[in-house]
Amino acid sequence: MRRKLVAGNWKMNGSTSSIRELLQGILGGSAEVAAVELAVFPPFVYLDAVARQLTGTAVGWGAQNLSEHASGAHTGEVAGPMLKDLGCVYVIVGHSERRTLYGESDQVVARKFAAARKFGLKPILCVGETLEERDQGVTEAVVERQLKAVLDLEGVASFADAVIAYEPVWAIGTGRTATPQQAQDVHAFIRAQLAALDPALASQVRILYGGSVKGANAGELLVMPDIDGGLVGGASLDPKDFLLIAKAGC
Ligand code: 13P
């Protein structure tokens, strides 16, 4: 049985005070959604404050990105051991905003995935197609290519400690959610890719859906057989909505 994970990707949002309030709100309702695992992904600079507030609670935390390198002359970058030092459990790799706005190739993403594992962090690997790619009918080819880069470098066994997030680019921040069936079809495809290499492992890997998930649509998404939770952007900044999404997964 795969325990559902609802992960809040705060992106480049928040301040010391707004984050304190947001976490208070989430912690206030977290006991009611204990069946679901919760984790938040603040900007790097707030990780320490988030760690202090969440230590000893049921809510985990992670980072939105990491360097592929361990340390050294990489101005402006943040390394895996630093994230581990701050108690991060997870780290998001290959978010479409990193791929499209910051030029991260499939190979860079694969190396970040490897770096995460090397330093004891669980990568949440994001994959997903653009609207143009969906319209061209190449969704599966795109997702397969994105997965293959990681499989080639790290092997299927590496997914035992990883999470996958299917985030169709056209559904991110647009209010346009994939239909539950559209999402389920791609999730099943992803699982089948892994199952072709290791069926037992594939049945245990959690595959999250991301793209305009909110309290109002989470129920119909999270009920699908291969959707094991959500990677939530905008709605994760509102504790009520974030908890509603989690409730839908209980
Ligand atoms: P939204 O929920 O704001 O569409 O963002 C999804 C996302 O990119 C999560 O990583």
The catalytic residue positions are 95, 167
> How many Å lie between the centroid of ligand 1 and the Cα of residue 72?
32
Per-residue pLDDT of 47-88, as tens digits, reads 999 999 999 999 999 999 999 999 999 999 999 999 999 999
Residue 183, amino acid: A
Of the pLDDT bands very low, low, confident and very high (cuts 50, 70, 90), residue 1 is: confident
**pLDDT score for 60:** 98
Instruction: Report residue 6 CA to chain centroid gap.
Output: 9
To the nearest whole number, what is the mean pLDDT of the chain? 97
> Which domains does the chain carry?
32-248 (3.20.20.70)
Q: Specify which residues 163 forms β-bridges with.
A: 124, 206
> How many Å lie between the centroid of ligand 1 and the Cα of residue 52?
25
Kindly give the residue spans of alpha helices, DSSP state H, lying in the chain. 16-29, 47-54, 80-85, 96-101, 106-118, 131-135, 139-154, 180-195, 199-202, 215-222, 239-248
Ligand 1-lining residues (CB < 6 angstroms): 9, 95, 167, 172-173, 210-213, 231-235
> Residue with structure tokens 């049985």?
1
Choosing from 40, 164, 172 the residue with most ligand 1 atoms within 8 A of its CB, the one to mutate for a pocket test is: 172
Per-residue pLDDT of 135-179, as tens digits, reads 999 999 999 999 999 999 999 999 999 999 999 999 998 888 889
**pLDDT score for 108:** 98
Of the pLDDT bands very low, low, confident and very high (cuts 50, 70, 90), residue 41 is: very high
